[in-house]
Amino acid sequence: MPFVTLAAALLCLAIGFSVLLANPRRPSNRAFTVFSLILAAWLICVLGAMIASSALARGEDADLMFWTRANAVVASFAAWGIWLLKFAIVFPEDNGKKALRKAMPVLGIGIFLAGICFSSSFAFLGSDSILRRGLAYLAYTSIGVILYLITALQVRRQLLAQSGIRRLELQFLALSSGIAALTLALLNGLGNYLQLRALNRASILVVFVAYLFMAWALANHRIFNARHVLAAVGHRLTVIGILAASAWGLSLILGQMMTGTAAWIVSTLLCGSAVFWLDQKTRTRLGVGDERLLVALRSEVIAVSRQEAGSVRLTSDFELLLTNHHRAGRAFLMSELDDKYIGGGIELPKTSSGLAALCDNAWITPESLQRRRTTPGLEDLGAFLHEHSLGVIVTVPRGSPAPTMLVAIGTKTNEWPFTYPEVVRLQNIAELMDSILTRSRLTDQAAMQARMEHLAMMSRGLAHDLKNLITPVSSFLVHTDGHYPAGSAEAEVHAAARRSMRIMTDYLREALFFSERLQPKFENVDLAQLFQRVREVTAARAAGRGIALATEQGFPHPVTADGVLVQRMLANLVCNAIDASTSGQKVGLAAGATRPGWLRLQVTDEGGGIAAEIIDRIFDPYFTTKEFGEDVRGFGLGLTISQKIVHLHRGTIAAKSEPGRGTVITVEIPTTPAAVTALPAPPS
C-alpha cells in the first residue's frame, strides 16, 4: 500500500503539471494544478503516517503524530481547492483573479481548521501506541462535514445557474467531488469506529479514482456529457454484475458434473463470451448509446435524398436538417472551390494554417481548442470559429489531408457544447451526405449534358432553317443598297433591316458554333500573344463604351490548349464584362498558377453584379440578363459556349458576384499534355 500511495502522489503531480502545460492561460487548468498539489501533499502525508504506524508496530521510534497532524492540515485546504476550481470554471474570463477572491473565505476556514490540528486534544498516542482522537478532532470533523455540505450545495446552485460548457464541467466536478467526499467520510468513519485501517486506506483509492475522473473530464479535448458517462458506466457495471452472478450460478450447476476448477473455467468462458452480445443488445434496447440516434438521422438523410432535387437543393435541405437536429443557429456544407472551401457565405482558404490544423485533427470545437496545446494553426482556426460563431467543424472524409468537403455547424441555441459522441455521429452523417451529393452532382452533369445536346440539336435545325430564310432577304438588301434617297423613310427602313440582318447573322454564327461537335486541337499556346489578340478583338467594344481593359499575365510558361477556342472563350467573357460595365470602369483579364499543372484565368468587372437567385443559371443556354437594344444585345449563348470550351479542355468555370460590386469569372484548365490526358474525357 505505501508503494501505491507514493505512485498516486507522483502521478497527481505529473497530471497536474501536464494539465497546466496544455493551456497555462486557462483559469480552470491553473486551479486544477493547485488542487493537484494539495492532493499530492495529502498523499505524501498519508504515506508518512503509514510508514510511521508500521514502525511503531515493530517497536521502532516514529513520529506518527507529526504525520497525522500534517495529514489533517493539508486536508483542511481540499475544500478551498474545490471552491477555487469551481469559481475558475464559472468565471474563466477574469483570468482566475475573481476565482481567487471568491474562494478567500473558504481559504480562511481552511486556515482555521489547520490551526485546530495543533490542539493537544486533536489526537494523541495511547499507552498501547494506538492513535486516539479527542474533542478537537471531533470539532475538526464536524466543521469539515458542514463545509463539504455547503460546498456541495454551492456547486449545485452554480450548476443550475450556468449553461453550456460551464454547466457540463460543473456536473463532472459535482459528481467526482461529491462521490469522493461521501465515500471518504463513510470509509474513514467506519475505519475509525471499527479500528479497521484497511477501510481508511481504501479511501485513498476512492479519492485518487475521483481525481482521475475529474482530470479526464476537465482536460480531455473530447467533451462528454456527465449524465451520459454515468449512464454508460452504470450500464456496463450492471452487465458485468449480471454476468458475474450468472457465471457463479452456472459454476454451481456444472460443479455437480465436473471438478470445481473446471466448472469455474467453463462457466467463465461461456458467460464471458456473452459479455459483448449482452452489452450491445442492452445498449440498443435501453438507448444508452448513439446507435438509435445515428440510425434515425441516417434515415432522415436518405429520405431527403430520395426527393427529386438537384445538388444545390439537396445541399440546402441537408443544411436545414443538420440545423434542426443539433438545434443550432445554422449549418454549412463547405465545398471545395479553387483555392478555398466555401459555403453559406463563409470561406476557409486552403493556404490558411487553420485548415492544416483542422485536417490534422479531423474535427474541432471551441471547447476542445481550450483544452489543446496552443499552436499557430489552432489559434487561426479558433479565430475562424469565433468570427463565424461556429460550434463544430469536421472534415469529410475524416482524417483526409485533402478533404472534399467541410461541415460546419453554428453554436447551439442552448449554448451546450458539441460532445464527442455528437462529433462522431456528425462525421458519419457528413460522409453519407458527401456520397449523396457527389452522386447528385454527377446526375446533374449528365442531365445538363443531355439538355445541352437537345438544345444543340434544336439550335442546329433552327439555324439551318433561318439561314435558308434570310439568304434571299440578305441578297435583296445587298442589291437595293443605295437605291433610296438619303433621309427618306425607305432609306431608314432599309438601314434598320440591315442592322436586324447583322444581328440575325451573329445569332446564326453563335447557334451553329454551339451546336457543333467540337474536337479541340491541342498545341503550345503563348499566353502573352493570346491576351494581345483578345485585346485586339475587344478593343472597339471597350472604346465604344468607355471601358479600360487591363491585362495581367502572371504565367510565363506555354500552355497546352486549343488557342482558337480559348481565345473565343476569353473574348466572350471580356465582352460580357464590358457590357456589364459603365463608362469609366475597368475590366481585368489575368492569368496565374494555382496548383501544379493548372492555369487560372480570371475576368473581372466593376459592374452591377449578378443577383444571387440567378447566378446559378447564367451558364444555361439562351438565358440572358442583357436588355435588347441597339448597343447591348444578348442571345444567352456566350457563357454557354465558354463553358463548353472549358469542358473540352477538362477544366472548370465558376462565377462569383456581389450585387453592386462586380463579377469575377474564374476558369481553371490543365496546362500540360500529361495533365490533359490523365483527366477523364469530356462528355460528348
pLDDT in tens, 556-567: 777 888 888 888
Residues 164 and 261 in one domain: no
- Number of domain units in the chain: 3
- Provide the CATH number for the domain around residue 590: 3.30.565.10
Residues 186 and 211 in one domain: yes
Residues 652 and 560 in one domain: yes
In a domain, 346, yes or no: no
In a domain, 479, yes or no: no
CB 93 within 8 A of CB 116: no
Residues 65 and 204 in one domain: yes
Residues 142 and 260 in one domain: no
Q: Quick one: 402 exposed, middle or buried, by C-beta within 10 A (0-12, 13-18, 19+)?
A: exposed
Residues 141 and 285 in one domain: no
Only one residue has cell 481593359, namely 549
Residues 143 and 264 in one domain: no
CA angle 599, 622, 497 (to 5 degrees): 115
Residues 163 and 254 in one domain: no
Element (H, E) at 589: strand 586-593
In a domain, 345, yes or no: no
CB 271 within 8 A of CB 241: no
Q: What is the pLDDT of residue 406?
A: 92
Residues 154 and 241 in one domain: no
Question: In this structure, what DSSP letter does residue 399 have?
Answer: T
Q: What is the pLDDT of residue 344?
A: 78
Across the chain, what does the average pLDDT equal?
81
Task: Identify the domain containing residue 36 by its residue range.
Answer: 2-219
Question: In this structure, what DSSP letter does residue 581 have?
Answer: -
In three state form, how does the secondary structure of 62-99 look?
CCHHHHHHHHHHHHCCHHHHHHHHHHHHHCHHHCCHHH
Residues 141 and 163 in one domain: yes
**Alpha-carbon radius of gyration of the chain:** 39
In a domain, 296, yes or no: no
pLDDT in tens, 53-96: 777 766 666 677 788 888 889 989 988 998 998 888 888 877 77
In a domain, 471, yes or no: no
In a domain, 241, yes or no: yes
C-alpha torsion angle, residues 139, 145, 149, 155 (rounded to 10): 110
Q: Is the pTM of this model over 0.85?
A: no
Residues 203 and 249 in one domain: no
Is cis: bond before 472, omega within 30 of 0?
A: no
Q: What is the pLDDT of residue 104?
A: 92
Average pLDDT (106-120) is 89
Say yes or no to pLDDT of 447 above 80: no
- Provide the CATH number for the domain around residue 49: 1.20.1070.10
Residues 659 and 527 in one domain: yes
CA–CA gap between residue 59 and residue 48 (Å, rounded):
17
Q: What are residue 410's phi and psi, to 5 degrees?
A: -70, 170
Q: What are residue 192's phi and psi, to 5 degrees?
A: -70, -40
Residue scoring higher pLDDT (589 or 456): 589
Say yes or no to pLDDT of 155 above 90: no
In a domain, 666, yes or no: yes
Q: What is the pLDDT of residue 682?
A: 46
CA angle 183, 187, 189 (to 5 degrees): 115
Last residue of some domain: 219, 250, 276? Answer: 219
In a domain, 502, yes or no: no
